[in-house]
């Protein structure tokens, strides 16, 4: 059993679970919920030192999934386990007809359109696979197929940004 503290002062949080030295769970007067933090900065704020801060699971007969929605209808993004066609897999989906993008350094690098086209270096792929070198990019090879060993990589085919194919 653990101690429970409920504070009903105007300047204090509405509800706190913890001890005299640590706050484990808090609901602020502003309606923010925190686990592992004393001052949640978002509607739900979870923090933990070491290990996973959030775990989503389901019974063996269920499907673990995470949905990020806008509004009341499910039109957003989902990560879930699928058994489509008898094959178990994890899927990442934009449920509506919006593109799914992946980025680094706050720049979109890969885009999958609602129609299934994939773009590398472009957010508007015009073919099943569109690879674009950005204007002014110094890397002249935009596509390569290579074979690697522990000691070397051999380029079998490459296309540069001047449309020259070698290999």
Residue 48 has pLDDT above 70, yes or no: yes
Residue 110 has pLDDT above 90, yes or no: yes
Cα–Cα distance, 165 to 167 (Å, whole number)? 7
Q: Which residues pair with 90 in a beta bridge?
A: 81
Report percent pLDDT > 90 for the chain.
15
For residue 102, what pLDDT is reported?
Answer: 92
First to last CA, the chain: 70
For residue 119, what pLDDT is reported?
Answer: 93
The lowest-confidence range among 3-7, 27-31, 70-74, 103-107 is 3-7
Q: Which residues pair with 80 in a beta bridge?
A: 65, 91
Instruction: Provide the H-helix boundaries in 10-73.
Output: none
Cα–Cα distance, 128 to 113 (Å, whole number)? 10
Evaluate whether 2 touches 15 at the Cβ level (below 8 Å).
Answer: no
Residue 40 has pLDDT above 70, yes or no: yes
70: three-class secondary structure by DSSP: coil
Mean pLDDT of 79-105: 83
Residue in 66, 127, 121 with CA at minimum distance from that of residue 92: 66
For residue 144, what pLDDT is reported?
Answer: 84
The lowest-confidence range among 2-6, 23-27, 142-146 is 2-6
For residue 2, what pLDDT is reported?
Answer: 58
Strands 33-35 and 44-46: what pairing? Answer: parallel
Residue 118 has pLDDT above 90, yes or no: yes
Evaluate if pTM is beyond 0.75.
no
Q: Per residue in 142-162, pLDDT tens?
A: 888 888 887 778 888 888 877
Residue 126 has pLDDT above 90, yes or no: yes
Whole-number average pLDDT of the chain: 80
For residue 111, what pLDDT is reported?
Answer: 94
């Amino acid at each position: 059993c653990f101690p429970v503290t409920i504070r009903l002062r105007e300047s204090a949080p509405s509800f706190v679970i913890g001890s005299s030295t640590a706050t484990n769970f808090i609901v602020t007067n502003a309606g923010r919920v925190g686990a592992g933090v004393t001052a949640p900065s978002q509607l739900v704020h979870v923090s933990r030192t070491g290990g996973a801060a959030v775990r989503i699971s389901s019974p063996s007969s269920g499907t673990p999934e995470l949905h990020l929605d806008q509004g009341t209808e499910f039109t957003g993004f989902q990560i879930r386990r699928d058994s489509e066609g008898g094959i178990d897999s994890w899927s990442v989906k934009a449920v509506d007809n919006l593109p799914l993008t992946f980025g680094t350094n706050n720049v979109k690098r890969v885009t999958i359109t609602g129609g299934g086209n994939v773009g590398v270096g472009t957010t508007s792929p015009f073919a099943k696979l569109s690879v674009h070198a950005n204007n002014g990019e110094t890397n002249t090879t935009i596509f390569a197929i290579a074979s690697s060993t522990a000691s070397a990589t051999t380029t079998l085919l490459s296309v540069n940004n001047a449309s020259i194919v070698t290999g």
